Amino acid sequence: MHIPDGFINGMTSLGAGVVAASSLAAGLRRAGKVLQDRQIPLAGLVAAFIFVLQMLNFPVIGGMSGHLIGGALAAVLVGPWIGLVVMTVVVTVQALLFADGGLSALGLNVINMGVLTVIIGWLAFRLVMTLLPKNATSILAAGAFGAWLSVVVSSLAFVGEYSIGGGGGAPLSTVLAAMAGTHALIGIGEGLITAGVLGAVLAVRPDLVYGAQVFGLRHTEVAALNRRAVGLFVAGGIAVAVLLVTLVAPLASDDPDGLERVAIDLGFSEEAEDHSLGDSPLADYEADGVEGEGLGTVVAGLIGLGATFAVGAVLMLGARRRRVRVDR
């Protein structure tokens, strides 16, 4: 997802830079009030942690892998304002120190991976929390949902930017379908990991989770953390993903044919960007032999979701069997 120089034209990039800078300024103004001396290093630690998670790949389906973006996680851990600053730092450091993502595209990358994921993640988290009982399980569920939604929205933002300032060449609808489909899946991974990390931190240091502080969760309430929460929420996340793929994909695909689709997948799917598991860069969630373009995407998406769910189920079963069963 790190956009390089020249992918989006100069004027759009500059415009994005201005937008990113002003939201950063807003974030800094709000964060500056809460960030005491002691929290600056800890913000740095969260940034480093998210940076590391972004470098690790997790499998999605069929040899495809994704990695965490982490904006929603940051928002729930340290709050939206510091989260925004933290994510901006992460993306900037990636561009400047690791040459990952173009310098001229910094504004775009900050918006996609920082500003949007934090804001969407946090809003969705708050929204879900107002609907659910105020306990630790809900925090995980809300965090996971926020994470999933933030990834999808971030991918849509990319499409928006491409439509404004892309060099042309690829039909927009194709890009949209591929991005939304892929990221509805990758987002599930993001949601799971976010819930997993939040669960682990809540169990030991609930004082470190801003989202839990906001809702006044105390140590004792957190101790009753329900492990099934994550599992339940995965199911919910998948349901929403199904909905999205069914609704958005048909609108998106006007006239792509097989080759076009593969080309897009090649260019866009996350796994090609990363190294470790990049054995098959072909994200084969296009069902072969299904004609009728919109339908093909939907079927592919559904098969993908089914596969994800199957893998997830096997995984959980296995995990249960292997789990260190010593808890009373």
> Binding residue for other proteins (CB under 8 A) from 16, 20, 23, 53?
53
- The Cβ of residue 208 has, within 10 Å, a number of other Cβ atoms equal to 14
Report yes or no: 137 and 203 within 8 Å, Cβ to Cβ: no
**Residue 111 near residue 8 (C-beta atoms within 8 A):** no
Beta-bridge partners for 65: 59
Q: Going residue by residue from 289 to 328, which x/- string records binding to other proteins, judged by CB under 8 A? A: ----------------------xx-xxx-xx--x-xxxx-
The closest of 200, 264, 180, 161 to 53, measured between CA atoms, is: 200
- x-or-dash pattern for other proteins, window 8-37, by CB under 8 A? -xx--x--------------x--xx--x-x
Q: How far is the CB of 31 from other proteins (least distance, A)?
A: 7
Phi, psi angles (nearest 5°) of residue 46 = -60, -40
- Output the smallest distance, CB 294 to other proteins, in A: 18
Give residues 217-246 in contact with other proteins (rule: CB under 8 A).
219
User: Under the criterion CB under 8 A, does residue 115 sit at the interface with other proteins?
Assistant: no
- Identified binder of other proteins from the candidate list 23, 54, 104, 297, rule CB under 8 A: 104
| Per CB under 8 A, 89 contacts other proteins | yes
Judged by CB under 8 A, which of 18, 26, 56, 164 binds other proteins?
56
Distance CA 129, CA 73 (A): 15
Whole-number Å distance between alpha carbons of 188 and 59: 11
φ/ψ of residue 59, rounded to 5: -75, 140
Residue 260 sits in the site that holds other proteins (CB under 8 A): yes
Check residue 263 for interaction with other proteins (CB under 8 A): yes
Judged by CB under 8 A, how many residues of this single chain contact other proteins?
A: 90
Of 48-56, 126-134, 147-155, 238-246, the segment contacting other proteins by CB under 8 A is 48-56
Tell me the closest approach of the beta carbon of residue 216 to other proteins, in angstroms: 16
Distance set, CA 304 to CA 150, 256, 316 (Å): 20, 19, 18
Choosing from 33, 97, 288, 291, the residue that interacts with other proteins (CB under 8 A) is 97
Closest CA to 136 of 71, 235, 230: 230
Element (H, E) at 59: strand 57-59
- Chosen residue from 19, 132, 272, 303 binding other proteins by CB under 8 A: 272
